[in-house]
A = this chain, B = another copy of it.
Amino acid sequence: MDKFEVKLDQAARAAWMSYVGGITQDEIASQLGVSRPGVQRLLALARQEGLIKVHIDHPIAACMTLASAIRERFGLDYCDVVPAEASAPEGAAYYLAVAGAERVARLVERSDPLTLSLGTGRSVRATVESLSRVERPQHRFVSLVGNVARDGSSNRYDGVMVLADKTGGQRFLLPSPVVASSVEEKASLQQQPLFLAITQVALEAEAAFIGVGRIDRQATLFQDHFISEDELDELLGRHAVGELLGWPMTADGEVIECSITRRVTSLPLEMFRAQPIVALAGGVAKGPAILAALRGGWLKGLVTDQLAARHIIEHA
């Protein structure tokens, strides 16, 4: 038995006494016949050699492991993963909304004036609906996506009105459909003073909370008739797997150039490179779209659920 093994043996003893036996380094020192700093060194060696395995016996632990892996893999500021187990009675969408609301609340609840952008989508809407009321008339909230449906009605997933109502803050809404009916219509809309003023506010935002959309027959863009079936096929033919703010992208996160994207009225994603964009999206079906956004480097934060997170890590 060589010297290193003897030392490792002793380190394992000390580690057992400390972590399993729960005694102080002083007591371990007197029991092993070494000094207290000597014990601390043994414990450091045990940690360094990976002798100490810790397991948190709670569903959350698996989520946090995934979250940590995603955060590190894609260089995010943060990643929150919520449980998606059958034991969760209200469903993952509820937890996603609560977790998203927590993140939004951290910004909204402060007193300094804040400018915050929102995308649209079920998750974004659920998030702001989960938020508690707080009086913050000094804040400004701006929508990054047009809030008009193709038939002229308001966007059913808009969150800016809800958020502004809950806080008393100012609201800025893009009065346009997310995809114009023609390139000319888009050009006309983007020259209106209101559009330019809202663009300016959006550029001043401290953060943006957005949804992630799929490109398939269940896509909001398709379901809400912003794009036709032919256009859907076209996007699929160009390997589109998801969209952010109406901008379709490939699995690598590259925005697709085509006739459809030339008609998207949302502010170009490139304008927000310097802003933290946080995606709120979950479900295994959203996995490919979220992964695309991550690969493209568009996101600084992610709030998702375990199912999507697993997909992301398995395919990263």
User: Could you list which residues of chain A lie within 8 angstroms of chain B, going by C-beta atoms?
Assistant: 1, 8-9, 12-13, 15-17, 19-21, 31, 33, 46, 50-61, 64-65, 68, 78, 90, 102, 106
Which residues of B are found within 8 Å of A65, using beta-carbon distances? 16, 20
Which residues of B are found within 8 Å of A9, using beta-carbon distances? 58, 60
Tell me the complex Cα distance, A55–B102, Å. 34
- What are 14 A-B pairs with beta-carbon distances under 8 A? A9-B58, A12-B56, A13-B60, A16-B60, A16-B64, A20-B54, A20-B56, A33-B106, A51-B58, A52-B55, A52-B56, A53-B56, A54-B54, A54-B55
> In the complex, what's the smallest C-beta–C-beta distance from A309 to chain B, in angstroms?
15
Grouping DSSP codes into helix (H, G, I), strand (E, B) and loop, the A interface class, with mixed when no group exceeds half, is helix
Which residues of B are found within 8 Å of A61, using beta-carbon distances? 12, 16, 20
Closest 4 CB pairs of A and B: A12-B58, A12-B60, A16-B64, A53-B55
Which residues of B are found within 8 Å of A78, using beta-carbon distances? 31
> In the complex, what's the smallest C-beta–C-beta distance from A136 to chain B, in angstroms?
17
Tell me the complex Cα distance, A232–B1, Å. 41
Q: Is the CB of B54 within 8 A of A53?
A: yes
Tell me the complex Cα distance, A65–B90, Å. 42
Residue of B nearest to A16 (CB): B64
Known: A54-B53, A56-B51. A64 touches B20 (CB 8 A): yes
Residue of B nearest to A102 (CB): B33
Q: Which of B33, B50, B54, B90 is close to A52, meaning CB atoms less than 8 Å apart?
A: B54
Known: A16-B61, A51-B56, A51-B58. 4 other contacts (CB 8 A): A16-B56, A20-B65, A20-B68, A52-B57
Tell me the complex Cα distance, A50–B12, Å. 22
Tell me the complex Cα distance, A33–B105, Å. 11
Which residues of B are found within 8 Å of A20, using beta-carbon distances? 54, 56, 61, 64-65, 68
Residue of B nearest to A94 (CB): B1
Which residues of B are found within 8 Å of A8, using beta-carbon distances? 58
Residue of B nearest to A31 (CB): B78
Question: Of A9, A50, A58, which is in contact with the most chain B CB atoms at under 10 Å from its CB?
Answer: A58
> In the complex, what's the smallest C-beta–C-beta distance from A118 to chain B, in angstroms?
21
Which residues of B are found within 8 Å of A52, using beta-carbon distances? 54-57
Tell me the complex Cα distance, A56–B90, Å. 38
Q: Which of B19, B64, B106 is close to A54, meaning CB atoms less than 8 Å apart?
A: B19
Tell me the complex Cα distance, A20–B69, Å. 12
Tell me the complex Cα distance, A55–B15, Å. 10
Which residues of B are found within 8 Å of A57, using beta-carbon distances? 50-53
Which residues of B are found within 8 Å of A64, using beta-carbon distances? 13, 16-17, 20-21
Tell me the complex Cα distance, A52–B22, Å. 12
Which residues of B are found within 8 Å of A54, using beta-carbon distances? 19-20, 52-55
Tell me the complex Cα distance, A56–B18, Å. 11
Residue of B nearest to A103 (CB): B33
Which residues of B are found within 8 Å of A106, using beta-carbon distances? 33
